Structures are given as C-alpha cells and as structure tokens.
Structure 1
C-alpha cells in the first residue's frame, strides 16, 4: 500500500479546513455569498461562525444538538475517504459517509420533527441513501477484486 500519499492528502485537507471555514465566517457566517440556500435556511446563521458547527453546539435544544452532531461523524470519514489515489474510488469513498450523514440527519428529524411532510421526506432520504450506500459498497468490493 502507498500510505504516504494518503497521509499527505489527508494533511492537506485538514490544513485547508481553517481557511475554508474562515472564508465562510467572513461572509456573514452561514455560507459563502454563492449559497443557493433560500433565506429561510440562513435566517439564524447570520453572525454565527459556521465552521464551529463541525462540533455539536453546546447551546440550543436537544434536537438541534443532535442534528449538528451528525456532522461530526461524517466529516472525518469523508475527508479520509477522499484521499484514495483513484479519483473514482475517492469520490465513492467520500460519498458513503456523506450519505450516512444524510441518513443520520433524517433519523433526527424522525425523532424530533413534527411536520408530516418533513418526516416523510426524512424517510425517503433514509430509504434512498441506504440503497445508494449498498450500491457504492458493492461497487468498491467489485473494484477491489
């Protein structure tokens, strides 16, 4: 195995994270100006440093803390997966934890959410993302043969 290139790539990803986070916080906190999110998504983000959201916030209610915690589990594995030498493998390895993060977020919605449409969407996310993770794992298994 060629471990050194993977270690170097992981170090580069980690080194770039503060600069990326600073860029986001310099633009009003939530997201860079090119954000495609509707204003309702960003109404409480103004003035907050979103780079700190990588760790679950100590403030906020239990539901919001649970939602933010889903990001913690996702980011490290995404960054590690994207260091694979083969770009196709790197993409798939980064997408698996990304999809798992979506599943984890959807489970928080099912636990705490009240709106039936949002809860239905959460279940659709879980169903679709679980199938896509299975497809990606199968592809990786076939690729490694």
Structure 2
C-alpha cells in the first residue's frame, strides 16, 4: 500500500506530542516494571526505534475491532492537534498543548460510551467528558485574557 505522507515525516511531526503523551500516561502512575517511559534515550528523547514501535500501534490494522479503530483515530487526531508551535511562554504553551490533549480524552471517552459494555466504564467516560470540557473552557478563557496578541 502506497502512503501519501512518508512515514519519517509523520514520525517527525508527531515526536513532540508523542513524548508529551508518553510521559503523561497513567496520569501519575509509575511505569510498569522494566518499562522506560521515554524510550531508550531517557527523559526528553525518544529513539527512532521506540517512536516507530509506538506509531505502529496507532496505525489502523485490517483486523482491528471497531472500537480499536475509533480509539486509534482519536489517538492520531490528538497527536496531530498537539503539534502546535511553541511560543516560549510556558503558561501559553502548557495550555496550547493541554487543550488538544484534553480533547483527545473527550474523544476517547466518546468511543468508550459508544462501545463499552461495563456501566462503570461508561460512567467514568461521561465524567471525563464533563471534566475535560470544563477544563478546556477554562484554558481557552485564560488564553483569551492572557495570551499575547
């Protein structure tokens, strides 16, 4: 299958957001025994092999369940949307990256609502949507009032 965008270009475009996401997995949970959260290169750097392995897990596969396809689409959209230029202002940059990160959580929660069977999963997803929408609104309001024009 011929791809319209070279894999290397995709990897480079997603490197920063991918690192942000991988370091945020579990929202404070310790990595699994033996896991290296930032790849083989350590904090702030992910080697190409680790990045390619991570990207491969996000690409749609023919045998994926419908929910998996939807989760992967949400993951890719979030990673794409997180690729915003840095301003050098940590207050602005934090919010500019967190807004699409939170939107990704909303999109994943919507997938869970559409596909999950467990009522506690659905309740958690509904709460995540509520909380993340509120936080996105707060961040956008702050940016409107405080970001340099």
Report the TM-score, using the length of structure 1 for normalisation. 0.65
1:133-144 matched pairs, under 5 angstroms: 133-144=136-147
The partner residue of 1:119 within 117, 122, 125 is 122
What is the aligned-residue RMSD (CA, Å)? Answer: 3.1
**Aligned mates of 1:111, 1:56 — CA distance in 2:** 18
Q: Which residue of 1 aligns with 2:40?
A: none
Q: Which residue of 1 aligns with 2:25?
A: none
**Aligned mates of 1:99, 1:15 — CA distance in 2:** 19
1:1-145 matched pairs, under 5 angstroms: 14=12, 17=15, 33-34=35-36, 49-80=53-84, 83-144=86-147
Equivalent residues of 1:56, 1:72 under 8 A apart: no
Residue 15 of structure 1 deviates from its aligned partner by 6.8
Residue 89 of structure 1 deviates from its aligned partner by 0.5
Residue 34 of structure 1 deviates from its aligned partner by 4.0
Relative distance call for 1:58 and 1:137 in structure 2 (3 A) is farther
Equivalent residues of 2:14, 2:83 under 8 A apart: no
Q: Deviations for 1:3-37, whole angstroms, at most 9, x for unmatched residues? A: xxxxxxxx9x937839x89xx9xxxxxx87145xx
Report the TM-score, using the length of structure 2 for normalisation. 0.64
Structure number with the higher helix fraction is 1
Relative distance call for 1:132 and 1:57 in structure 2 (3 A) is farther
For this pair of structures, how many residues does the alignment match? 112
- Partner secondary structure for residue 85 of structure 1: coil
- The 4+ residue runs of structure 1 with deviation greater than 4 A are none
